[in-house]
């Protein structure tokens, strides 16, 4: 086979840097702890009953889990109730947040993204990988772009072989 018959993989030889958010996914079970069942008549939280729940609940079942705390019904829930749940969970859970499972996932990703030295992408042509085996919240893609834009020379979304252009740093006037 002579040189002109060789197939050249232009994607593999390009200077594109793939940024894969899936690499920042933290494995572990995600759990939603809804305190609605602790409400008196589904409306208000009574301190004495709630403290009994805190005392008798099996908190070990949250061992090494990521936990989101909510009250899914429109009710009067004092702030201290969520604080008591957090204190009870603290010896067991990996991470505890107030909000939905989506909020939890976003916070976990944000914590991982905060550890990145974004300046390492200076003048890079970056493709933010689109397909993922894990569900990456849209808010995390937005956060990644917020951090990449000041450094990257161009930003794209998708796969290196098929990208959607997002941003190209303007050339400086001479």
Tell whether 83 and 121 lie within a shared domain: no
Please indicate, yes or no, whether residues 40 and 72 belong to a single structural domain of this protein.
Answer: yes
Give yes or no for a contact between 127 and 159, defined as CB atoms under 8 angstroms apart. yes
Indicate the pLDDT class of residue 48, thresholds 50, 70 and 90. Answer: very high
Looking at the fold, whether 42 and 7 belong to one and the same domain comes out as no
User: In the predicted model, is pLDDT for residue 47 greater than 60?
Assistant: yes
Is pLDDT larger for residue 9 or for residue 151?
151
Helix (H) or strand (E) holding 89: helix 79-89
Quote the pLDDT of residue 161.
Answer: 82
Chain centroid to CA 73: how far? 25
Domain edge (last residue) among 93, 119, 135: 93
pLDDT tens-digit readout, 92-118 = 999 999 999 999 999 999 999 999 999
Shared domain for 118 and 152, answered yes or no, is yes
**The domain containing residue 73 runs over which residues?**
30-93
What total of structural domains would you count in the chain?
2
Name the domain boundary from 93, 121, 143.
93
Q: Are residues 34 and 50 in the same domain?
A: yes
- Check whether 15 has a pLDDT greater than 90: no
Band of pLDDT at residue 9, cut at 50, 70 and 90: very low
Domain boundary among 42, 58, 93: 93
Residue range 62-100, pLDDT digits in tens: 999 999 999 999 998 999 999 999 999 999 999 999 999
- At how many degrees (to 10) do helices 79-89 and 47-56 cross? 10
Assess whether 49 and 17 both reside in one domain.
Answer: no
User: What value does the mean pLDDT take over residues 131-156?
Assistant: 95
Instruction: Clarify whether residues 14 and 48 are in a common domain.
Output: no
Taken in order 155, 156, 159, 160, the sign of the CA dihedral is negative
pLDDT number for residue 12: 44
Structure tokens at 156: 């794209």
Residue with tokens 């204190």: 87
Write out pLDDT tens, residues 18-39.
999 999 999 999 999 999 999 9
- Residue 100 in any domain: the answer is no
């Amino acid at each position: 086979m002579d040189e002109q018959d060789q197939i050249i993989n232009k994607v593999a030889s390009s200077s594109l840097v793939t940024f894969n958010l899936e690499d920042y996914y933290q494995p572990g079970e995600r759990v939603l702890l809804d305190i609605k069942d602790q409400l008196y008549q589904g409306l208000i939280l009574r301190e004495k009953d709630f403290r009994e729940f805190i005392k008798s609940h099996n908190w070990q079942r949250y061992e090494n889990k990521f936990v989101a705390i909510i009250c899914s019904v429109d009710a009067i829930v004092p702030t201290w109730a969520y604080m008591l749940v957090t204190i009870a969970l603290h010896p067991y859970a990996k991470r505890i947040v107030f909000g939905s499972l989506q909020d939890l996932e976003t916070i976990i990703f944000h914590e991982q993204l905060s550890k990145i030295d974004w300046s390492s992408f200076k003048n890079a042509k970056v493709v933010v990988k689109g397909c993922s085996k894990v569900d990456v919240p849209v808010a995390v893609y937005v956060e990644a772009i917020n951090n990449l834009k000041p450094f990257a020379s161009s930003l794209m979304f998708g796969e290196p072989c098929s990208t959607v252009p997002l941003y190209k740093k303007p050339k400086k006037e001479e």
